[in-house]
Amino acid sequence: MSKKKDVDWNAFIKHPEAQGVITSRTPALLERLNFKPDVCTVFKHPFTRLEPDFRYLFQPHPAAVQMLPDIIGNPVQKVTGSDNADDDLRNHYLAERHIGIVFSGGPAPGGHNVIAGLFDAMTAANPDSRLYGFILGPDGIIENDYVEITRDMVDSHRNVGSFSMIKTGRTKIDSRIKMDLSRQTCKNLNLDALVIVGGDDSNTNAAFLAQEFFKDGIQVIGVPKTIDGDIQVRDINGNTLCAVSFGFHSAARAFSRDISNLCSDGSSDVKYWHVCKVMGRVASHLGLEVALQVHPNIILIGEELADYIDTARIKKAEKEGTTDYTAYGMTLRNVSRLICDGIVRRAAVGKNYGVIVIPEGVLEFINEIQLFIIKLNTIIGEYNQTHDTDFHSTFVTLDEQLDYLRRLARQSREGWSSSIWNTRDDDLFNDIPAFFQEGLLTERDSHGNFQFSQMETEKVLMGLVKDYLKILRERGEYKIGIRPGWYRKTMEKDGLDPDAYGPIIFKNYGSADPCLLVKNSIVSVKMLTQELQREEIIRKNQEVPAAILKVYQASVPKFKTQNHFYGYDGRGSDPTWFDCTYTYNLGLTVFSLIAGKATGQMASIKNLEKDFSQWEPIGIPIASLMHLEERKGKLELVLERAIVDLESPAYLVLKSLQEKWLAAGPGPDDYRNPGPIRFQSQDADVLPLTLILNNLGGSSSD
Ligand code: FBP
């Protein structure tokens, strides 16, 4: 046996070439760190001022007027550049400041650039100013856990994705004690302002904190973050003040890149349907953007499902003098039929593969599921409010939870309580698979939101799809189309006359159809044999010729799926040019709002959907954007989320191209490859496609 040589591993590690390839400071990272986003024209001036812009009007909710009296009157504030400053502006603008910043909710690409923009602006105004980052989200404020953000920290995170510099969390500052602890932290740090970078719930929190800290003189500014893209602000006249939250574009591009790779793989190996669940709690904005980027064969848009009206059912009910409520909105079964239709049509032209995009929030738009979600939110919320312990600690297993629901149903049946859970709910709930029940009963987040990303939506839908495809196969309606040339070659190779067998086996033999379809009545080898014998092309007891068997086997579809979930990967992606530039300018806007003495405002950039030269930094009054929504079983004042507008150009374009993307015809698929995430501003599709298309419709700002 040969003796092993002693190897000096350290020599390898120290080798300059090894050092070059194992360093975490890759060329791509260095390029990002050195990238300098463009700044809006106003920021090229030494000072900025705020000018109230009364052209934009809102209709504040009475509850907001009552609960947020000190910030409800805020107007939209326009940030303007100024070369000169009077003493008052100079003193205030250049003052030494202490500012705290926190990330709240899910990560979104671009967050670090908000910090970078704010840091650069505040230290340019006064190098002694300090920026504190609260660790792990709002918990950091409550627990006084923070870090002072230094230039080195900023420089090593410029244009880089994730929220890793100070981390994030989902805690809601929603009780007197949490408010008091937060105030204490802000006072300890002598904060002039607190910046909350978050989604709808976090900006809701920002409004309540702005109200709470108003008398203390601590300003609170929100920043619109969420990959979901559901923070979009228009005034009552439809003027767009915030076209989309940051992070949306980068996440959509990250998902699109991966899904486009699946399109390439799928159309090469032609044996799988790739089922892609795409993040986005509730609204389908991400699904819509991804579909425009990639052109998948099938895409569901939740908002469209809720809008569906079954006219045939309505007419039938009218004739019978009744009302059929199930005719409004799609059921899970309807949706699965829709998917099957696409699969069967593609199979008929020989394409037994494809890509389906399912937004994670579609369940919210499916009648029967939405009802369960609302009822269970209420039951869990009520339980948590009236007991010392919470629902999920008391009822740990699914059986215990089902048992509790059963008790509620019994109580309501026997009339001892007016529980919203009745016997019918219980029966329907018991009909759904256990993993789905578990998903619907899963713990709500701290804001009372249903956690769609924990649901195996695609598994539920595809389960129904598989069941229905089986029925269609048994009925002979789901077949793979056979290419006529291949059929002819296969037969002739075995010395058989294709024209003699063709009319017996196929229902469209001799037609101009691109593919031959085996007759519906032939759904097994036995039936194929009987048909050939009946037509006397083979004798009784004679076996089916091998070539015919081969053709028949090729027409029998095997439905195989691969499920994928695109969510957390996109949240951690590096930002696109759009998000790098958007967020850096948001950071600069935050400083201008603080220097301009604003509070209860959300930093925003107007005209995002237009050329960069037209981008305009503004502050939007958060309190005016709030409405009442069901949370944890109660109505709460929260920032309104935007869902997909079914009249928007982006949606209408998708609608008109869906048939083309299904590609249930002889030609090739219409897949689109958007390429990798880059930050070159000259790319044609440098903005989200949804924004580009919606801008064509003139639905944006003046
Ligand atoms: P934010 O609204 O906080 O930005 O989070 C959005 C999101 O990424 C959703 O798309 C998704 O449903 C959810 O967070 C997942 O949350 P969690 O991180 O708790 O699993």
Same domain flag for 382 and 433? yes
Please choose, from the candidates 332, 340, 402, 322, the residue with its C-alpha nearest in 3D space to the C-alpha of residue 362: 332
Q: By three-state DSSP, how is residue 560 classified?
A: coil
The number of beta carbons lying within 10 Å of the beta carbon of residue 21 is 8
Q: Is the pLDDT of residue 425 over 80?
A: yes
Q: Whose CA is nearest to atom 6 of ligand 1?
A: 106
Q: Is 415 left (phi over 0), alpha (psi -120 to 50) or beta?
A: left
The shares of helix, strand and coil residues in the chain, as percent rounded to the nearest 5, are: 45, 15, 40
How confident is residue 439, by pLDDT bands cut at 50, 70 and 90?
confident
Same domain flag for 75 and 217? yes
Q: Which atom of ligand 1 is nearest to the CA of 228?
A: 10
Q: By three-state DSSP, how is residue 24 classified?
A: coil
Mean pLDDT of 237-262: 97
Least confident of 204-208, 393-397, 454-458: 454-458
Q: Whose CA is nearest to atom 16 of ligand 1?
A: 106
In this structure, what DSSP letter does residue 361 have?
A: G
CA of 567 to the centre of ligand 1 (A): 8
The identity of residue 406, as a single letter, is R
How confident is residue 699, by pLDDT bands cut at 50, 70 and 90?
very low
Mean pLDDT of 492-519: 97
Contact 275, 458 (CB under 8 A): yes
Please choose, from the candidates 199, 259, 251, the residue with its C-alpha nearest in 3D space to the C-alpha of residue 230: 199
Contact 518, 473 (CB under 8 A): no
pLDDT digits (tens, 9 = 90+) for 176-221: 999 999 999 999 999 999 999 999 999 999 999 999 999 999 999 9
CA of 228 to the centre of ligand 1 (A): 8
Same domain flag for 586 and 598? yes
In this structure, what DSSP letter does residue 78 have?
A: E
The identity of residue 114, as a single letter, is V
Any idea what the CATH number is for the domain that residue 125 is in?
Answer: 3.40.50.450
Q: How many structural domains is the chain composed of?
A: 4
Same domain flag for 566 and 596? no
Residue 433: per-residue pLDDT: 83
Q: Whose CA is nearest to atom 15 of ligand 1?
A: 453
Q: Which of 284, 453, 455, 638 best tests ligand 1's pocket when mutated (most atoms within 8 Å of CB)?
A: 453
Mean pLDDT of 307-316: 81
Mean pLDDT of 263-285: 96
Containing H/E element for 108?
none
User: What's the rounded Cα separation, in Å, for the pair 82 and 90?
Assistant: 11
Mean pLDDT of 276-304: 97
Mean pLDDT of 235-258: 97
Same domain flag for 605 and 490? no
| Residue owning tokens 């529980």 | 419
Mean pLDDT of 13-19: 87
Percent of the chain with pLDDT over 70: 97
CA of 625 to the centre of ligand 1 (A): 21
Same domain flag for 41 and 95? yes
Rg (CA), the chain: 30
User: What's the rounded Cα separation, in Å, for the pair 295 and 231?
Assistant: 25
Same domain flag for 438 and 548? no
Same domain flag for 187 and 299? no
User: What's the rounded Cα separation, in Å, for the pair 411 and 405?
Assistant: 10
Containing H/E element for 161?
none
Please choose, from the candidates 68, 140, 131, 130, the residue with its C-alpha nearest in 3D space to the C-alpha of residue 103: 140
Q: Whose CA is nearest to atom 7 of ligand 1?
A: 106
The answer to whether 230 is a known catalytic residue is: no
Q: Is the pLDDT of residue 340 over 90?
A: yes
Mean pLDDT of 567-584: 97
CA of 279 to the centre of ligand 1 (A): 8
In a domain, 4, yes or no: no
In a domain, 420, yes or no: yes
Q: How far is CA 653 from CA 57, 505, 580, 639, in A?
A: 30, 41, 28, 29
In a domain, 12, yes or no: no
Residue 367: per-residue pLDDT: 82
Q: Which atom of ligand 1 is nearest to the CA of 108?
A: 4
- State the catalytic residue, choosing from 120, 192, 201, 228: 228
Q: By three-state DSSP, how is residue 249 classified?
A: helix
Q: Which atom of ligand 1 is nearest to the CA of 568?
A: 8
Mean pLDDT of 430-439: 86
In a domain, 7, yes or no: no
Q: Which atom of ligand 1 is nearest to the CA of 280?
A: 10
Residue 580: per-residue pLDDT: 97
Any idea what the CATH number is for the domain that residue 261 is in?
Answer: 3.40.50.460
CA of 275 to the centre of ligand 1 (A): 20
Contact 608, 581 (CB under 8 A): no
Residue 184: per-residue pLDDT: 97
Residue 12: per-residue pLDDT: 83
In this structure, what DSSP letter does residue 362 have?
A: G
How confident is residue 288, by pLDDT bands cut at 50, 70 and 90?
very high
Positive or negative, the CA dihedral 364, 361, 622, 54 is negative
Contact 520, 508 (CB under 8 A): no
Count of residues for the chain?
A: 702
The number of beta carbons lying within 10 Å of the beta carbon of residue 572 is 17
- Last residue of one domain, picked from the residues 639, 672, 692: 639
Containing H/E element for 570?
helix 568-571
The identity of residue 676, as a single letter, is P
Please choose, from the candidates 165, 171, 115, the residue with its C-alpha nearest in 3D space to the C-alpha of residue 143: 171
The number of beta carbons lying within 10 Å of the beta carbon of residue 614 is 13
Q: Which of 281, 457, 566, 631 best tests ligand 1's pocket when mutated (most atoms within 8 Å of CB)?
A: 281
Residue 449: per-residue pLDDT: 77
User: What's the rounded Cα separation, in Å, for the pair 548 and 93?
Assistant: 85
Residue 325: per-residue pLDDT: 67
Question: How big is the CA angle at 204 (ends 570 and 381), to the nearest 5 degrees?
Answer: 90
In a domain, 15, yes or no: no
Same domain flag for 125 and 233? yes
Residues 6+ apart with CB under 8 A from 326: 310, 313, 367
Q: Which atom of ligand 1 is nearest to the CA of 104?
A: 3
Q: Whose CA is nearest to atom 4 of ligand 1?
A: 226
Q: Is the pLDDT of residue 443 over 90?
A: no
Q: How far apart are the first and last CA of the chain?
A: 82
Q: Which of 201, 226, 277, 449 best tests ligand 1's pocket when mutated (most atoms within 8 Å of CB)?
A: 226
Residue 328: per-residue pLDDT: 76
In a domain, 11, yes or no: no
Contact 189, 147 (CB under 8 A): no
Mean pLDDT of 351-378: 90
Residue 480: per-residue pLDDT: 98
Same domain flag for 148 and 84? yes
Mean pLDDT of 257-262: 98
pLDDT digits (tens, 9 = 90+) for 159-181: 999 999 999 999 999 899 999 99
Mean pLDDT of 263-281: 96
CA of 455 to the centre of ligand 1 (A): 13
Q: Whose CA is nearest to atom 18 of ligand 1?
A: 106
**Total-model pTM:** 0.92
CA of 459 to the centre of ligand 1 (A): 20
Residue 1 vs residue 220, higher pLDDT: 220
- Last residue of one domain, picked from the residues 497, 527, 555: 555
pLDDT mean across residues, the chain: 93
Q: Whose CA is nearest to atom 8 of ligand 1?
A: 106
Partners of 361 in the beta sheet?
none
Q: Which atom of ligand 1 is nearest to the CA of 230?
A: 2
Q: Is the pLDDT of residue 702 over 60?
A: no
Q: How far is CA 294 from its chain centroid?
A: 15
CA of 702 to the centre of ligand 1 (A): 32
- Kindly provide the b/e burial profile for residues 444-471, where b requires at least 16 CB atoms within 10 angstroms of the residue's own CB: bbebbbbebeebbbbbbbbbbbeebbee
- Last residue of one domain, picked from the residues 639, 662, 692: 639
Ligand 1 neighbours by CB, cut-off 6 Å = 105-106, 108, 199, 226-228, 279-281, 360, 445, 452-453, 571
User: What's the rounded Cα separation, in Å, for the pair 39 and 117?
Assistant: 10
Q: Which of 225, 228, 231, 569 best tests ligand 1's pocket when mutated (most atoms within 8 Å of CB)?
A: 228
Percent of the chain with pLDDT over 90: 77
The string of DSSP codes covering 412-427 is HHTTS---S--HHHHH
Same domain flag for 524 and 467? no
Q: What range does the domain containing 393 cover?
A: 362-454
CA of 281 to the centre of ligand 1 (A): 7
Q: Which of 223, 227, 255 best tests ligand 1's pocket when mutated (most atoms within 8 Å of CB)?
A: 227
Partners of 198 in the beta sheet?
224
Q: Which atom of ligand 1 is nearest to the CA of 225?
A: 4
Mean pLDDT of 618-640: 90
Mean pLDDT of 243-271: 97
Q: By three-state DSSP, how is residue 276 classified?
A: strand
In a domain, 20, yes or no: no
User: What's the rounded Cα separation, in Å, for the pair 347 and 225?
Assistant: 42
Same domain flag for 175 and 261? no
Residues 6+ apart with CB under 8 A from 523: 473, 474, 475, 476
Q: How far is CA 52 from its chain centroid?
A: 34
In a domain, 594, yes or no: yes
Between strands 76-82 and 47-53, the pairing is antiparallel
Q: How far is CA 159 from CA 110, 569, 578, 614, in A?
A: 7, 17, 11, 22
Residue 214: per-residue pLDDT: 98
pLDDT digits (tens, 9 = 90+) for 642-678: 999 999 999 999 999 999 999 999 999 999 999 999 8
